[in-house]
Homo-oligomer: A and B are copies of this chain.
Amino acid sequence: MPNQTKPNVVYIIVDNWGWGDISVQGGTIPTPNIDKIANEGLRLTNFNVESQCTPTRSALLTGRLPIRSGTHRVTYGQPYGLAPWEYTLSKLLSDAGYATALFGKWHLGEIEGRLPTDQGFDKWFGIKNTSDEAGYSSTPQFDPEIVPEPFIWEGKKGEPSHKVKPFNLETRKTLDRDIVERTEAYITEQAKAGRPFFAYIGLTQIHPPIGYHPDFENITKTGPYGDILTELDYNIGRIADAIETAGITSDTIFVVSGDNGAVIERGFGGSNGPWRGGFTGYEAGLRTVGLIRWPGRIEAGRVSDEIFATLDWMPTIANLAGEGHRIPTDRPIDGKDQSKFILGTQPESNRDHVMCFVGDDLFSVKWRSFKIHLKTAETLWSPLETHMFPPVYDIRNDPGEQINLMERALFSYSWVYTPLNQILGEFGTSVQQYPNIKPGEDFTGYG
């Protein structure tokens, strides 16, 4: 293997993955390959995402709160996506000499100028938007004159992307297999080339509609969700094997995470572990699987409940790669450099809070062990409620967010509003200085 000075980065992002969907976190379906990766590195049990696909992917790549970038909600048929001037982790690593590729789900823009190859990836294969689209053509009233027929795409930097095949309930079944096979080939090829690479793999499972490789049909006898989890574990195992086979395990920062919690309604079957809610400001909406492995650099078997956010990956990975100097200084970066915490030279996280936006609204703030809810909705389907005296829960002692301390202790916890107000105030000041851009806005930067 050629000698290379920079670590490779392989990032797998799993769609709608519940905290409790892996057996090392209490899941009932065995996930041996995922558990093995967890046990070989650091398992972040307080890993916080944004509440939906698009904002989490935006936070991951930009290190910026998605509400700043106009990518804070999933949109349908409206202009959206990362503005060309956003500076992503993929651009940063590309500028640092990395080969870069995206396999799988993008969901950060669907028009030319807002595709992966416009954001630092040398090439890509996958879907522009959401897996919802796989179900479109099976709805009897679907009209491709209103909404274009969905496709699986691929593209290279400097060329327009092109259609590979229609994206429907049939092609949905083998899409993740296609993604994994392309990833394997890429890893093998890059390891041979000896140039550091960044592979971003957006698996489309465990997102509705249900549809998975025929090899796994009825394999668990527990229903589709168990079968899909088993396929997911197999797919992640194949990527881990590809890294191993290529002989680059100790040269590769390998991250496996979810993008938001699981869909648990309508018998879909996911598990958010002990956490309440889903897709909202309750804990199930922001805490999901977060694993990072880098043999020899990150202690194997370490588990930490320190607060870590998707936002932190961009500055953290940049710093782990020795490229922290490339992080932009002309715009707010909300992510924290967690490289010392990840490497274990510092036991604590550099983050004491996360703000949980759902669409345009700030739902909750987690500060230390507390969760403070300005607005609530039980799940995706529930009505929005606004609170005059925001409920306060102590997640450490009350993981299910059942005991509102403000009510239980009759105001003795109102001091928690002080750090809350400081967090809100600092964010407000920052937004005044750097106004948020709107979804799809043709905004040319703060310059």
Contact = CB atoms under 8 A, between A and B. Distances in A.
Interface of A: 75-78, 130-136, 138-139, 141-142, 146-147, 207-210, 263, 265-266, 268, 279-280, 358-359, 368-370, 376-377, 380-381, 383-389, 391, 394, 404-415, 417-422, 425
Copies in the complex: 2
A265 B146 CA distance: 40
Given A139-B415, A415-B147, A421-B75, A263 B391 contact: no
A405 to B, nearest CB: 8
A415 B142 contact: yes
A111 to B, nearest CB: 14
A410 B358 contact: no
Closest 4 CB pairs of A and B: A135-B412, A77-B418, A383-B385, A208-B410
A78 B141 contact: no
A410 B268 contact: yes
From A130, A410, A418, residue with most partner B Cβ within 10 Å: A410
Given A146-B415, A147-B418, 17 more contacts: A76-B414, A77-B415, A77-B418, A77-B422, A132-B412, A132-B414, A135-B411, A135-B412, A139-B405, A139-B412, A141-B368, A208-B411, A376-B383, A377-B388, A380-B389, A381-B404, A384-B387
21 contacts: A76-B418, A77-B417, A77-B419, A131-B411, A133-B415, A135-B409, A135-B410, A135-B411, A136-B415, A138-B412, A139-B405, A139-B409, A142-B415, A146-B418, A209-B409, A209-B411, A265-B407, A266-B410, A380-B388, A381-B391, A384-B385
A66 to B, nearest CB: 15
Nearest to A138: B412
Nearest to A265: B407
Nearest to A413: B139
Contacts of A404: 381
From A131, A368, A376, A381, residue with most partner B Cβ within 10 Å: A381
A131 B387 CA distance: 21
Nearest to A77: B418
A381 B409 contact: no
A266 B403 CA distance: 12
From A383, A405, A413, A417, residue with most partner B Cβ within 10 Å: A383
Contacts of A412: 132, 134-136, 138-139, 208-209
A135 B75 CA distance: 46
Given A359-B388, A417-B77, A419-B77, A141 B369 contact: yes
A74 to B, nearest CB: 8
